[in-house]
Structure 1
């Protein structure tokens, strides 16, 4: 992790409030990194429908006529429905060509939204039975990522993620596999799924393997559970970044520790609303986190299920939290600084962000 760029922010440090002209720069043109995107969840809705037809997979109305689905995951039944829809979507990926198409289209969409670097998260165990095992699945994903990067110019790193609802020994197997491909496309090791069903401390051994192998520690935490979940990720998993982490605002001392450690929080406003973590986008504590001095990286999480991609998250920061262009540019800088992007990519993107800031409004 790099040293923090700035001290906690105060009202006097804010740019002027939005006034119609102060926030007219094109957010799709703002160079940025996308650090919180799940593999199946990155799929275009049109591609889901086409692949389902091609492979004769029946899709429920929530994924067709009623898309994007109405979701809520604050109770066990709601999370089960969310996971069931995700599993159905994953089931349309039947061939290597399907995976290659998904990654190519995802990279195309990221390029259109100003992403210069993408870290996409995948649990290979969800695909292994169809693609010949864990190792062939990872190699297929990495090869598809290289193709997508070459075709679009968007740099791509892969995060191998363990599943909280599975045994910690499975996570150790994935960590060892991830380390085999460190420096060959795999940049981090994650932990996803319902944090109420798998405590972070159960997975400490897997994360020690990953960190010793040079991978970033990027678990989910502080989404459906509160500060205790965040603290476990910090202390047991030595998190470099934290997927979501918004519940850290409930414990000021914990939030101060996050700032001190320079941990990047991957905040996903639309996802938080869709899953019931926040009632509205205005209730996501984005401004509180920013003013505390926490490093933030906005993410779309699962556009396939939540119906919005990365630029929309920046639009919400602008519209619902009053972020001016200078602050939005700072969010973009924090996203690239919290990433595993090579130094050459970081330098190029940071320079491009500065160019965006210098562009006249409306230009």
Structure 2
């Protein structure tokens, strides 16, 4: 591909030539494809072995002391009843993420894990305020994670950025503190501000001052919305909080006018299929709107949400997209390109990354 042609492709929605829609899609092929992950929670993506080892080191009592039993407790599976039920697993993971050494380790190991499936770039999100039970300061918590990610990049070649999360069901004044921290670390590893946590009864608009601070300082933002609550939640995320991306957006299809707005303004959706089934945002795999969204032209990205809690990988999520919704290899490559375009990284860096990714994808 010539430089001129490449620049043209980067500037538009890239669609690979439909050479053969029947080309087999296998886990081996998907694992080798260059990928990007934009919605991944640090405290939901630890290794079970790490939780056990850190609990022993820190003298933290866990509800189980062997890998098999603990795994069952932190992986609710598809029998999970709701988002609130799903979030219970985080009580366990957070119990061992209250020291700098543990935060560094979790961040580093996450980079090592994603490198094994050829993830080139990942945005890791978490809320520093949930890691203060032993008195750590917000800056110390953030620095520990950033250092772990940077060491992971040096060792495994995976670039990363941090998304700091405000929490819906915690007083909005703490969201403001986290927004201030995000702004202070803009261009120092933090790429965006987010709002996570229990969605129903905790509207995003209550946290709009934090988002206004972020937007005034030209920092990116995303918001969990349309997962456990309807399109109104997405409406608030966009029009009250100025979200540049939407986390999940599962129920966007319930409001056609808002869906068209999201589509027209190319607001990316951070889709997490397995997680959506587990939290009962969608009852069955067959009911998930991901295929509809793609066919309508929305910019979608596929993500794990929580690698441990959802017992998944990015490779698994793409295989689910293929097996349940018929995504072909060419469509999967198209989604990968959309995901890279949706990343919160500077244009020039994104352009260079896309150049390499497109060339790599064309080999498949």
Asked whether the two chains share a fold, i.e. TM above 0.5, the reply is yes
Using the TM superposition, name which of 143-152 and 243-252 deviates more.
143-152
Could you say which residue in structure 1 is the equivalent of 2:353? Answer: 349
Give the distance between the partners of 1:272 and 1:66, measured in 2 at CA: 19
Q: Per the alignment, in what secondary structure is the counterpart of residue 309 of structure 2?
A: helix
Deviation of 1:48 after TM superposition, in Å, equals 1.9
Q: Aligned equivalents of 1:358 and 1:144: distance in 2?
A: 32
Partner of 1:136, secondary structure, is helix
C-alpha RMSD over aligned residues: 2.4
The one of 82, 87, 94 aligned to 2:86: 82
Q: Distance in 2 between matches of 1:70 and 1:329?
A: 28
Residues 102 and 207 from structure 1, CA distance in 2 versus in 1: closer, same or farther, beyond 3 angstroms?
A: same
Conserved in 1, the CA contact under 8 Å of 2:237 and 2:243? yes
What is the total number of aligned residue pairs between the two structures?
Answer: 349
Q: Can you give the 5+ residue segments of structure 1 that lack an aligned partner in the other structure?
A: none
1:220 offset after TM fit, Å? 0.4
Conserved in 1, the CA contact under 8 Å of 2:250 and 2:281? Answer: no
Task: Please give the alpha-carbon distance, in whole angstroms, between the structure 1 residues aligned to 2:83 and 2:72.
Answer: 21
1:174 CA displacement: 1.1
Q: For residue 296 of structure 1, report the CA deviation from its aligned partner.
A: 1.0
Q: Deviations over 1:250-292 (max 9, x none)?
A: 1111111001111110000010111111223232111101111
Q: Unaligned 5+ residue runs, structure 2?
A: 1-9
Equivalents in 1 of 2:80, 2:206: separation in Å?
23
Measure, in 2, the Cα distance between the counterparts of 1:336 and 1:51. 34
Q: Is the 8 A contact 2:75 2:89 kept in 1?
A: no
In the superposition, relative to structure 1, how do residues 183 and 326 fare at CA in structure 2: closer, same or farther (>3 Å)?
A: same
Preserved CA contact (<8 Å) 1:72 1:276: no
Matched residues in 2 for 1:129 and 1:73: separation?
28
**Of residues 155, 171, 178 in structure 2, which corresponds to 1:151?**
155
**Alignment partner, residue 176 of structure 2:** 172
Compute the displacement of 1:83 (Å).
2.7
Tell me if structure 2 keeps the 8 A contact 1:73–1:276: yes
Q: Distance in 1 between matches of 2:154 and 2:309?
A: 27
Match of 1:115 in 2: 119
Q: Check whether the contact 1:175–1:209 (CA below 8 A) recurs between aligned residues.
A: yes
- Equivalent of 1:5 in 12, 33, 42: 12
Structure 2 CA distance for aligned equivalents of residues 249 and 344 of structure 1: 34
CA change 1:189–1:66 in 2 (3 A) is closer
Choose the corresponding residue for 1:64, options 71, 74, 81.
71
- What is the Cα deviation at residue 56 of structure 1? 3.8
CA distance in 2, matches of 1:237, 1:73: 30
Report the Cα distance in structure 2 between the residues aligned to 1:159 and 1:342, rounded to whole angstroms. Answer: 15
Q: 1:209 aligns with which of 213, 216, 221?
A: 213
Distance apart, 1:124 and its partner CA: 0.5
Q: Which moved more, 1:243-252 or 1:274-283?
A: 274-283
TM-score by length of 1: 0.89
Alignment counterpart, residue 296 of structure 1, candidates 300, 309, 318? 300
Q: Aligned partners of 1:4 and 1:216: how far apart in 2?
A: 20
Aligned partners of 2:316, 2:270: CA distance in 1, in Å?
Answer: 15
Q: In structure 1, what is the equivalent of residue 224 of structure 2?
A: 220
Higher RCO, 1 vs 2 (CA within 8 Å, ≥6 residues apart): 1
Superposition map of 1:1-363 within 5 A:
5-6=12-13, 17=21, 19=22, 21-24=23-26, 26-60=29-63, 63-65=70-72, 68-70=75-77, 78-130=82-134, 132-360=136-364
Cα offsets for 1:21-79 (capped at 9, x unmatched): 443471112112110001111212222233233334343366335662246676xxx44
Q: Deviation of residue 246 (structure 1)?
A: 1.5
How far apart, in 2, do the equivalents of 1:203 and 1:244 lie?
19
